[in-house]
């Protein structure tokens, strides 16, 4: 399959089942809501080292938030419900509770619940106030700028993490421009985040390493500086590869985002130095979800 001169490789992205949640952070203005969201989702690129993968899903206008203030929605993905709950509590406690004027609310419905304000309330040292409004429980925790309003709990739902595609370009600049364009288009979609810095990964990894302590190491087959030394997947014209990793609330969301991203890259096409679109997998044995590029783009 070739789109606008760019080859879509006959391969697939391999993704995993994860546990996800969504919280809504509001503040006096969008600047502070976004600041809290960015802080909370900092150092959340990969579960391997960060415990959780997280990102800002979208900005929410005042008319759509629970308390009528500007807000952002944040998606968090963990490898288990327990890991997700721990990270959520830590991150809300350190990054949202501390951030001026913020409040935090559950942004997703479901039967399985994880604590949001349930334990954070103890910061109130006995002066916290519980309020049940519309069947939901909220905590009002006294803080130095007034009150931190926080919903008691939030649902966690099954989700999909690790969807991806690789952009193989002639130069590093061309690969970056194409990926930036893809991210710009993908960020308009609901239910997905691209957790890596700016949504883009340069250090794709393979499973295992020559060093026993490491469970993953550089994806040498896609490193242009190792061409000629290892069994490379790069032909002569490829000078740089960048990857976009996608986490979504369902496999359909990940597939939609993949299609949107790849389409945005292919609109630039071969004329902009985009040689090929590939994807990362582990032979299909580890992940439950397979996104075959040609099927997604068909």
Residue 283 backbone zone (phi > 0: left; psi -120 to 50: alpha; other: beta): left
Give min distance, CB of 134 to another protein, in A: 5
Residue tagged 């690969």 (tokens): 175
Based on its alpha-carbon atoms, the radius of gyration of the chain, rounded to whole angstroms, reads 21
| Least distance between another protein and beta carbon 116 (Å) | 15
CB of 275 to another protein, least distance (A): 52
Bridge partner residues of 2 (DSSP): 7
Nearer to another protein (CB atom), residue 11 or residue 73: 73
278 phi and psi angles, rounded to 5 deg: -125, -170
Residues in the chain: 298
Closest to another protein by CB, 146 or 224: 146
For every residue of 116-154, DSSP letters joined together read: SSTTGGGGGTT--EEEEETTEEEEEEEETTEEEEEESEE
DSSP label at 185? H
* Residues in contact with another protein by the rule CB under 8 A: 26, 66-69, 103, 127, 129-134, 138, 140, 146-147, 149
CB nearer to another protein: give 131 or 294: 131
How far is residue 10's CA from residue 25's CA, in Å, rounded to a whole number?
Answer: 41
Q: What is the b/e burial string over 140-149, where b = at least 16 CB atoms within 10 angstroms of the residue's CB?
A: bbeeeeeebb
Torsion 85-88-91-95 (CA) sign: negative
Cβ at position 140, least distance to another protein in Å: 6
CB 58 to another protein: min, Å: 21
Query: Which residue carries 């991210």 as its tokens?
Result: 183
Shortest reach from residue 98's CB to another protein, in Å: 17
CA distance 139 to 151: 6
Output the CA–CA distances (angstroms, integers) from residue 62 to 31, 33, 151, 192, in the order listed. 13, 11, 18, 21
Tokens, residue 93: 């406690």
- Taking the complex as a whole, the smallest distance from the CB of residue 121 to another protein amounts, in Å, to 14
For another protein, the closer CB: 44 or 141: 141
Cβ proximity to another protein, 37 vs 66, nearer residue: 66
**In terms of CB distance, is 67 or 295 closer to another protein?**
67
Q: Which of 124, 115, 117, 111 is nearest to 96 (CA)?
A: 117
Give 133 or 271: the residue with its C-beta nearer to another protein. 133
């Amino acid at each position: 399959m070739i789109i606008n001169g760019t080859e879509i490789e006959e391969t697939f992205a391999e993704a995993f089942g994860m546990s996800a949640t969504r919280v809504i952070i509001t503040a006096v203005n969008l600047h502070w809501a976004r600041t809290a969201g960015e802080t909370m989702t900092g150092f959340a690129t990969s579960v391997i080292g960060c415990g959780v993968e997280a990102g800002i899903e979208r900005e929410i206008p005042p008319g759509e938030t629970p308390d009528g203030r500007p807000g952002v929605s944040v998606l968090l993905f963990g490898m288990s419900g327990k890991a997700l709950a721990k990270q959520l509590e830590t991150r809300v406690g350190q990054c949202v509770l501390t951030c001026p004027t913020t409040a935090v609310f559950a942004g997703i419905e479901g039967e399985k619940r994880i604590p949001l304000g349930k334990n954070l309330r103890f910061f109130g040292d006995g002066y916290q106030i519980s309020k049940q409004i519309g069947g939901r429980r909220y905590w009002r925790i006294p803080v130095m700028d007034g009150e931190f309003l926080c919903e008691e709990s939030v649902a966690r739902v099954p989700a999909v993490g690790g969807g991806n595609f690789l952009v193989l370009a002639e130069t590093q600049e061309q690969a970056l421009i194409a990926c930036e364009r893809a991210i710009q288009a993908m960020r308009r979609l609901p239910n997905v985040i691209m957790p890596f810095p700016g949504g883009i990964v340069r250090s794709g990894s393979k499973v295992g390493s020559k060093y026993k302590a490491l469970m993953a190491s550089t994806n040498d087959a896609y490193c242009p500086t190792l061409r000629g030394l290892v069994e490379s997947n790069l032909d002569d014209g490829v000078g740089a590869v960048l990857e976009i990793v996608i986490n979504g609330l369902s496999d359909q969301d990940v597939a939609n985002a993949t299609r949107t991203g790849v389409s945005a890259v292919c609109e630039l096409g071969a004329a902009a130095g985009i040689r090929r679109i590939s994807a990362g997998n582990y032979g299909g044995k580890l992940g439950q979800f397979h996104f075959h590029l040609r099927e997604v783009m068909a």
